Chains A and B, each alone.
Chain A
Amino acid sequence: MECTECKKIIGKNKIINNPKFNQKSKNKSSAVFSNPSLCKEHFTIYFENKVKKAIKDFKLLSKKDKLVVAASGGKDSTVLLYLLKKLGYNPEALAIDEGIRGYRSETLKNLKSFCRQNNITLNIVSYKKEFGEELDTMLHGLKIIPCSLCGALRRYLLNKYSRKYNKIATGHNLDDESQSIVMNLLKNNLELNSRLGPKTGIDADRTAGTDANIKLQIQEISEGKGFVQRVKPLYFCTEKEVMAYTLLKGIKVDFAECPHVPESFRAHIRDMLNDYELSHPGTKKSIIKNFLNILPKLKKHCSRNYSNSAKNHEEKNSKTLRPCKICGEPSDNETCRACLFLAMVKSNNSKAKSLNNNLLQIRV
């Protein structure tokens, strides 16, 4: 099948500048991608334009930003690093090493190599150093979905180690976001959905003078605490498009899937959405489009709830942002999610140790 953009140009029987693509073409080119049907050249332009448009339309980044990319060595974050560097944003990279056996060391190897070749500063923070043990060890005997524990600890570390930057860019793509929206819908969690979108967190420059919780967050950011703003430049790119771009550009990444993913709720939602997309093309894009339309109202609704509870922040179940009583990091509750999970891990370790000691005594 031919590239539709090449066909337009050939069809007019002359070489023209295509203003949308800013590209001349006089050769028929086979399509390397379906929907849209584009050749290698035009697909590359299409993909890069999508990212530039997201950055522009949602004011995600400026060249003055001190920017870090949450990187893993996987295709999304590596493509993001590559593109942001190409577009002149000068990102640094921050990676979290959970120590997941047979997976993380490989992805980090690729990431280190990529950053070296592209002159990108890379910082790696490990669970082992921060928490004393790796994820797989923490999970022993713990009845918990691995992604719940891992997600909380990763977010905690990403926020803690990105304070010297004013923005974190993540490689979340259209598939990731549509899955999150559906997951939160099914769990009846409006508040989590209100925190999604191409840009999340407080933009301190623009929201001065709004409700009590936001004022508190702005104050914390100015003091070098609080949540660092996050942006998702790949927001409108599908996972398939990101993979195609990786292959066409020859970007060396690890395509492995985390071994814990199949156990997750997200994996079920992902499979469901992909099946539905096959029979109803455009489903995922519709989810995103619809969500973005209602997001401002959703934020307002949830923000109103924050304001009301901010007046009585000693109230039980109050959703005001405050420092965690254990680690001091920003938290919705008295104790942040990361500390709650770490306490669970510690308690599990104590029980295991006590059981072992009892068994030893019986043997003796």
Chain B
Amino acid sequence: MKIFIEKTNKKLEKKFSGTVAELLNLLKLNSETVLVTKNNTLVSENEAVKDSDEIKILSVISGG
């Protein structure tokens, strides 16, 4: 699975299948502070994701 974490500009490749919530937990990211897209479509935390998906994790915190 290709994962891009926007806040840190980090690209990862990980073997994972489960829900978005489980993925965020694994990456130690707070779901309150991010939105996730799967293959460029916004998805909820209960969405199932698998190895072939492209995941982007976007920070909701912005501005000043």
Q: Do A and B come from one complex?
A: yes
Task: Kindly identify, within residues 242 to 268 of chain A, every residue whose CB is under 8 Å from any CB belonging to chain B.
Answer: 242-244, 247-248, 254-258, 260-261
Bound Cα distance A72, B63 (Å): 8
Give the number of residue pairs across the A-B interface with Cβ within 8 Å: 77
Are A32 and B59 closer than 8 Å at their CB atoms? no
Q: Which residues of A contact B64 (CB under 8 A)?
A: 72, 74, 100, 103, 147, 150, 257-258, 260-261
Closest to A72 in B: B63
| Count of chain A residues with a beta carbon within 8 Å of a chain B beta carbon | 35
Q: Which of B30, B45, B61 contacts A257 (CB 8 A)?
A: B61
Are A34 and B32 closer than 8 Å at their CB atoms? no
CB distance from A100 to the nearest CB of B (A): 8
CB distance from B11 to the nearest CB of A (A): 18
Q: Which of B32, B33, B43, B61 contacts A32 (CB 8 A)?
A: B43
Q: Which of B30, B46, B47, B62 contacts A256 (CB 8 A)?
A: B62
Are B33 and A274 closer than 8 Å at their CB atoms? yes
Q: Which of B37, B45, B58, B61 contacts A239 (CB 8 A)?
A: B61
- Residues 2-35 of B, flagged 1 when their CB comes within 8 A of A and 0 if not, give 0000100000000000000000000000111101
Q: Which residues of B are at the interface with A, using a C-beta cutoff of 8 A?
A: 6, 30-33, 35, 37, 41-47, 58-64
Q: Which residues of A are at the interface with B, using a C-beta cutoff of 8 A?
A: 1, 30-34, 37, 40, 72, 74-76, 100, 103, 147, 150, 239-240, 242-244, 247-248, 254-258, 260-261, 270, 274-275, 277-278
